[in-house]
Structure 1
Amino acid sequence: MSTITLSELSSLATTPSLVMAAVEEQAPVPGAVATAGNGPNDEYEEIREQDRYLPIANIARIMKNTLPENAKIAKDSKETVQECVSEFISFITSEASDKCMQEKRKTINGDDLLWAMSTLGFDKYVEPLKLYLGKYREAVRGDKPDNKGGGASAMSNAGAGADATV
């Protein structure tokens, strides 16, 4: 395994090829995504801010709903909460994704997210979210017409709308 010196690292940090490390195995750079595949030689590109964060209007609306009617929210407060929410989502999703990869699955479902939250110490949110997920799945099942062909549709509908491909 080759090593990289501090001066080489600092020169990498100032060049556009930050993600092209001078080591045999390249680790993903925070804030970057693979453009194709997930191998060590894949190219990375920076994630755009609007793709990384939830819309500020949605964040502001939720914040306003939790505060008294005459309360004012500073712009930097909204932006800070926006960053925190996005980081929290990434934290939970990353743990769920790791579980799915260990189990050789490509789809994260609601149960994986609940498992990740429990594993990461957010136990007090798991039970209310389980109830919500169950009600959501029932509503999705109720909206879809029954397929006359067997039980496969019940299985596919059980997780409908609550899954994300990794």
Structure 2
Amino acid sequence: MAERPEDLNLPNAIIARIVKESLPDGVAVSKDAKLAISKAASVFVLYATSCANNYAMKAKRKTLNAQDVISAMDDMEFSRLIQPMEECLQAYRKEQKGKKEAAESRKKAREAEGGEDNDDGEDEKEEEVNGEEDTANKDGSGD
């Protein structure tokens, strides 16, 4: 847990960027307004986390998952956020799946390129081992 209340604040640069991107051009936001938005966002995140944690605890889990957060939004009476959150979650999962598949295909391609060389080397080693075994059996010392 945080040692000081200030440690729980969201970064000011992030808050400023979100505020700027969500308002039309030419709208100015005072420093006090940015501070108030930052505090409100921090409180919201902490409360949402606490509510989501309650769901995880009821399920006897220590790890919060996406469904815990979505259920917390409903408890907090932010049900209008649930559909956009689920859509974002699906998009995120799809993106992660695509990244994982791309990484696996790159790995397989690297293994195929490097695997051809390794297969030849392994065959030579097997032939050497088999050759030694054959020699041992011919000498009679392998019995």
Name the TM tier (shorter chain).
0.5 to 0.7
Identity %: 36
Distance, in Å, in 2 between the alignment partners of 1:83 and 1:100 is: 26
Q: CA deviation at 1:141?
A: 1.4
Q: TM-score, normalised by structure 2?
A: 0.66
Distance, in Å, in 1 between the alignment partners of 2:23 and 2:86 is: 26
The structure that is helix-richer by fraction is 2
Secondary structure in 1 matching 2:64: strand
Q: Give the total of aligned pairs.
A: 103
Distance, in Å, in 2 between the alignment partners of 1:111 and 1:124 is: 15
1:126 partner amino acid: I
Q: TM-score, normalised by structure 1?
A: 0.58
Distance, in Å, in 2 between the alignment partners of 1:102 and 1:137 is: 25
Which of the residues 76, 79, 86 maps onto 2:35? 79
> What residue number does 2:93 align with?
137
The structure that is strand-richer by fraction is 1
Which of the residues 42, 46, 61 maps onto 2:3? 46
CA RMSD of aligned residues (A): 1.7
Which aligned runs of 4 or more in structure 1 are off by greater than 6 angstroms?
A: none
Structure 2 unaligned runs (5+)? 106-143
1:132 partner amino acid: C
State yes or no: 1:60 paired with 2:16.
Answer: yes
* Higher alpha-carbon Rg: 2
Structure 1 unaligned runs (5+)? 1-32, 34-44, 148-166
1:102-124 superposed Cα distances (whole Å, 9 cap, x missing partner): 21101111111011001211000
1:85-130 superposed Cα distances (whole Å, 9 cap, x missing partner): 0100111110110111121101111111011001211000101110
Distance, in Å, in 2 between the alignment partners of 1:146 and 1:106 is: 30
Distance, in Å, in 2 between the alignment partners of 1:116 and 1:82 is: 21
Which segment drifts farther, 100-109 or 77-86? 100-109
Matches within 5 A, 1:4-153: 33=1, 46-47=3-4, 49=6, 51-144=7-100, 145-146=103-104
